[in-house]
């Protein structure tokens, strides 16, 4: 939920401008890489709420997975140099 300001939601399907009051949600199990970008000069404020355990996952727009033991790998299993925070 966007609380203040404006950000661009970038998803596999394209870009959407989010403004204060705009919600967004994704269905469980549906692959859709997404992130927010603040492309303005002003601050933006948003809240994220998630449910369930997040043991592992994938970035559909990148060649990267994260694992239950806090590692990043390439989709073919090769190790990435990043650490999950």
On whether both 37 and 72 belong to a single domain, the answer is no
2, with CB counted inside 10 A (0-12, 13-18, 19+), is buried
The candidate with the shortest Cα–Cα distance to 46, out of 54, 36, 56, is: 36
Contact at 8 Å (CB) between 44 and 1?
Answer: no
| Residues 46 and 6 occupy one common structural domain | yes
Report residue 2's pLDDT band, with 50, 70 and 90 as the boundaries. very high
How far is 6 from 66, CA to CA, in rounded Å?
29
pLDDT tens digits for 27-84? Answer: 877 778 788 999 999 999 999 887 767 677 777 777 888 887 878 888 888 888 765 5
The structural domain count of the chain equals: 2
- In terms of domains, do 36 and 9 share one? yes
pLDDT at 43: 97
Domain ranges, residue 10:
1-50
44 lies in the same domain as 76: no
Q: Are residues 4 and 19 in the same domain?
A: yes
Mark whether 4 and 38 lie in a shared domain: yes
- pTM of the predicted structure, to 2 decimals: 0.69
Tell me the per-residue pLDDT of 14-40, one tens digit each, with 9 for 90 and over: 999 999 999 999 887 777 878 899 999
Rounded Cα distance, 50 and 61, in Å: 20
């Amino acid at each position: 939920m966007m609380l203040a300001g404006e950000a661009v939601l970038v998803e596999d399907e394209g870009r959407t401008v989010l403004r204060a009051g705009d919600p967004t949600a994704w269905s469980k199990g549906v692959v859709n890489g997404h992130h927010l970008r603040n492309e303005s000069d002003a601050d933006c404020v948003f809240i994220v709420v998630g449910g369930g355990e997040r043991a592992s996952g994938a970035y559909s727009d990148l060649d990267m997975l994260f694992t239950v033991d806090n590692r990043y790998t390439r989709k073919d299993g090769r190790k990435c140099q990043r650490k999950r925070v």
